[in-house]
Structure 1
């Protein structure tokens, strides 16, 4: 879920304040239910520049649900795909400087992203009729199926989700190859969800 992007800081101050309030509301209203359902909450993005009380709320949500393993809910907050790529590159540069050598593989780079350890994205549902990624998980969604729906996020519910899942199930996924890969998830994801 994309909660707040690095670009959202340019919105009017009252709108930014409202978006920060949503984090407080989410943790106050939904965290206990998610924890009881076995959902692990992970918040992606930069903590710098975020108000201290919001960082505390994020840290509490992650700590409280860290033991859960039925479902992973990743919330992109103060997140931008480009910023995540830059942060990963900087971490690798810093490591190379301290070790005096530099080798780079896709796996090393992926492990330096904020989403390290998460399965690749299989589907992105874009609401409100927009047809763009909006700087969301640029590395992770390399082979994601894109589903565009006209429903506004506040009105999103079971029916649009069911329609998106049905559309996804009809897709033929090849992951760059010629043959359709059996199953509906990325080959490297099957063990994570199965």
Structure 2
């Protein structure tokens, strides 16, 4: 497709509401959402998108009930296991952004294994934002810079220099952000990186989001004129 952006970010909202509408437990919504993510990632690779960032688990999500968090973490482990097994076949490169604090050793080990096994893959790069918050990322980046300055390294802080201290170092900013489930906010996601990103909101819950829905979003994207702050 000639109209695909280089980098698409997803806020995958509505798993719980999707389940509630069907009188199912919230865990069923998260499970279906995980399945949809697999399908959308594979489709993005097919149509030539180079980077996909998925807001998988935010720093604020820890406030949810323990049972729900445990279910999400179990699904995450299953997803990572599947990705590890298919890493060579899919030729997808995986990077995880966010804090490791609070994650189980099992999940951390799987993340490290997956990143290591896929680092030389040349296809789609999938970035999972796990235990991630935009404000937290900016604070961590600032503290890294302060630590280097205190060690005697001098910096003229520019946007480019600052970007190199973020979790997304080396990854281009998203061209297009898609948020499902009708919410019109970015929820502490990629606060620095979304400066000139085009936003798209759909009322569909994430478990109902399809390849056709992505195509419709991309058709709208191609009709927009990105100005990057210029007239």
Q: Residues 20-54 of structure 1, C-alpha deviation per residue, up to 9 Å, x if partnerless?
A: 11211112234433542211010000011211111
Check if 1:59 corresponds to 2:112: yes
Check if 1:176 corresponds to 2:193: no
Task: Point out which structure has higher relative CO (alpha carbons under 8 A, 6+ apart).
Answer: 2
What RMSD, in angstroms, separates the aligned Cα atoms of the two structures?
1.3
Native 8 Å contact 2:180 2:204 kept in 1: yes
The equivalent position to 1:149 in structure 2, one of 202, 208, 223, is 202
The equivalent position to 2:184 in structure 1, one of 131, 142, 150, is 131
So what's the TM-score if we normalise by structure 1? Answer: 0.88
Cα distance in 2, alignment partners of residues 152 and 143 from structure 1: 25
Q: State the 1:100 CA deviation.
A: 5.6
Cα distance in 2, alignment partners of residues 60 and 152 from structure 1: 31
Q: Residues 124-147 of structure 1, C-alpha deviation per residue, up to 9 Å, x if partnerless?
A: 000011111011111111111000
Check if 1:11 corresponds to 2:77: no
Q: State the 1:177 CA deviation.
A: 1.1
Native 8 Å contact 2:58 2:129 kept in 1: yes
Cα distance in 1, alignment partners of residues 128 and 151 from structure 2: 32
Q: State the 1:155 CA deviation.
A: 1.9
Native 8 Å contact 2:94 2:127 kept in 1: yes
| Structure 1 gaps, min length 5 | 179-194
Counterpart of 1:29? Answer: 82
Counterpart of 1:111? Answer: 164
Native 8 Å contact 2:177 2:198 kept in 1: yes
| Structure 2 gaps, min length 5 | 1-53
After superposing the two structures, state which structure 1 stretch, 148-157 or 1-10, moved more.
148-157
So what's the TM-score if we normalise by structure 2? Answer: 0.74
The equivalent position to 1:50 in structure 2, one of 86, 99, 103, is 103
Q: Residues 98-123 of structure 1, C-alpha deviation per residue, up to 9 Å, x if partnerless?
A: 01644311111100000000011100
Number of corresponding residues:
178
Q: State the 1:78 CA deviation.
A: 0.4
Native 8 Å contact 2:87 2:117 kept in 1: no
Return structure 1 stretches of 4+ with deviation > 3 angstroms.
30-35
